[in-house]
Structure 1
């Protein structure tokens, strides 16, 4: 299976890349990056590497920072990282392992050591993926039951808020499509799909005279409406469960905006968790394309135009094109989960 693996070599010295490339090219597909920025771009691409050999001492962004960013993102967190460095102090190794690296190779490199370490880590990575697949198969029924319970919780908020019964299902599907499209690992994408329905659970705590008010809210009422984020976080609580932890994250941050004008914390750009940036697009898109008592449903084209106009303002610009790439899947969900009063019109989507 080794010929199927891709190894990314990251080093600011082209000679070092040539050495490692010569060692690994007979056995693996090899990619290379001369700096941390390019390494992150490759790692986040469609064809993710199966392992990264990462130099520590690099200008602008050193290997430790590259590793930190890789492990912080659900798109790249599962890629094993081996540091390749001339730094041999125990403290340096401890720092690297604390960041999530799986091994260290010291320079100047030894051919048999590089080959053996890479082969071992790729085998472990492959075994881990196989084990994860088996676990997923055996727990699928439990996960389905859990997902249904969570969707019911999400619907509890929808009953108070508006007449649409399928909003939480549609927007959670859209969120999953987008997560998969940007190459997030499948487990995280599934977690996001199950967590997204709870984004507005806190609306249960908003008084009906505010939540259902047909006119524009006054300043005091708007401040109370914003507190549904706080109520939602309180309802969901603090748990070790990855699902509920992600649900809290989505609930807490999905009203933040990319330009910092959102609420409750006025977070800006990539400081907003990826989960919330994804759900923001999915949630707004479904709200726009759904009929409400106070508005007609927008067309997909109108909704896309609005999302384009809000690029860099409300929404993460890097997520808009991938979301549009999901159009055919989006259309299918719109038809399959249309609200009863909309079914007659969705046959032509």
Structure 2
């Protein structure tokens, strides 16, 4: 079944789906005339309102008398200050019209530490104001892991339960879009749900209250635990396996290319492949593309194989496999692996060319 799916995906696409075609037609009609400009500006304004509110809340929490353990908030991946006509202004105090109309406010400046990119060129990239990346506690600005943290997967699971759609979820970040289809006031709804999550976390509310479906499905694993307990346990695990370092190292070197992707695909459709547990794929020629989401970038392509220089690929897949076993209900999404249950644990396998 899984081998058929891999082969079938070579000949299918989301492009001809009628729902997508219909939505494009509707969007084109909505953008016609002056209404399109108005709708775009409204979406940008709503996103800017949310970005500034998040800064304001963080400042209020810093100025409050909350206990030390409750002294935290979510942050937004964005510049702390903007420069307009030579004047530097904190983003939270900047005029909404300036943020909406001046693209320079969103450029990634090579000298700014907030974005974390080394060696970026002047004017090379900019943020899209309507794509808001929210950072959860757990990762320091330099990339190291903090002693306490809140994995983003737990936050987004709570938001989905509350009817808020999250586009992409990383280990300590998630992406929210402010698009043409939103209603005015989405920023307030999202902010309110983040406040509710913080309150539930701070008082270690029982998971039976926060995620009743999860506890009902996995009672032995989650019954009797609180939200703070779950966040701490998951963060400690991610810290122990050095997930931040693994995520960087896995793309630092390319695997060895043994054959073309087309040749590997021919082996796949002819059945000249075998499912190999990821713990044993070193030295094997992979027949499928393996893609963890996020970031949605392949770690290995068909026709490539892992060697000593790229063992971090195996380490990452084994770490994801172990995570899925420890935290059922929060499984990772990895295209190209076949997941099976074995002795109460998850086992990742990858199709490799028979030798």
Superposition TM-score, scaled by structure 2 size: 0.26
**Relative to total residues, which structure has the larger strand share, 1 or 2?**
2
Superposition TM-score, scaled by structure 1 size: 0.26
